[in-house]
Amino acid sequence: DAGITQSPRHKVTETGTPVTLRCHQTENHRYMYWYRQDPGHGLRLIHYSYGVKDTDKGEVSDGYSVSRSKTEDFLLTLESATSSQTSVYFCAISESEGLGGETQYFGPGTRLLVL
Amino acid sequence: RKEVEQDPGPFNVPEGATVAFNCTYSNSASQSFFWYRQDCRKEPKLLMSVYSSGNEDGRFTAQLNRASQYISLLIRDSKLSDSATYLCVVNMKNQGGKLIFGQGTELSVKP
């Protein structure tokens, strides 16, 4: 299995609080992604990174920001959590041009509940 | 219309059965296709890529029909361990090459 960890694995928070999720990889892959998975919607891309300090928006980026200061870490921040952001969040990595179809490897996921 | 559509199931089949999953995609510019498997409360994992000529990996066969924008996955001789959700995934070239995931089709193999 690819060396990808996510922390925390579970989190309960209140509406309006900031939340940061961390994705850490030991594979030295260039590309990293954050997805959310909700019933009826499948996996949807929030943000992605194609290198240190290089990030771009995905399909559902509103309310989220990301940062990548090191190759191995990709942080997802909910500036002010809302109940609609209750979801399962997956980080993924790919070695080369993941957006061109390269295999993506997923972390174990973070279950976030916003009350 | 969703960009990648799958029958959500669930498909309930006995061990040993052959089961087929279908997937349609809306963007004719799509260039790469995959099937991922996701076990309950786990992360998705790549099952197989789908090539234009069709490809097989043991009991699993994937087919692509570009003219009909249709992808299929056939599982022969189903095992209990095949129970999972199968995700159809398409690379949308004219959307920056992003991967688009279908909702998934749930399979339950019973003894």
Whole-angstrom Cα distance, residue B85 to residue B73? 12
Counting Cα atoms < 13 Å in the Cβ hemisphere of B84 gives 18
Chain A residues with CB-CB distance to B4 below 8 A: 42
List the one residue out of A5, A73, A92, A86 whose CA is nearest residue B38. A92
Q: What is the pLDDT of residues A12-51, one digit of tens each?
A: 999 999 999 999 999 999 889 999 999 888 899 999 998 8
Give the pLDDT confidence score for residue B93 in this predicted structure.
62
Would you tell me which residues 36-95 of chain A have a C-beta closer than 8 angstroms to some C-beta of chain B?
40-45, 58-59, 90
Of A77, A98, A99, nearest to A2 by C-alpha is A98
Q: What is the pLDDT of residues B55-111, one digit of tens each?
A: 999 999 999 999 999 999 999 999 999 999 999 998 866 555 578 899 999 999 999
Q: Among A4, A23, A104, which would you mutate to test the B interface (most chain B Cβ atoms within 10 Å of its Cβ)? A: A104
In the predicted structure, residue A100 carries a pLDDT above the cut 50: no
Share the mean pLDDT of chain A: 92
Residues of A in contact with B96 (CB under 8 A): 99
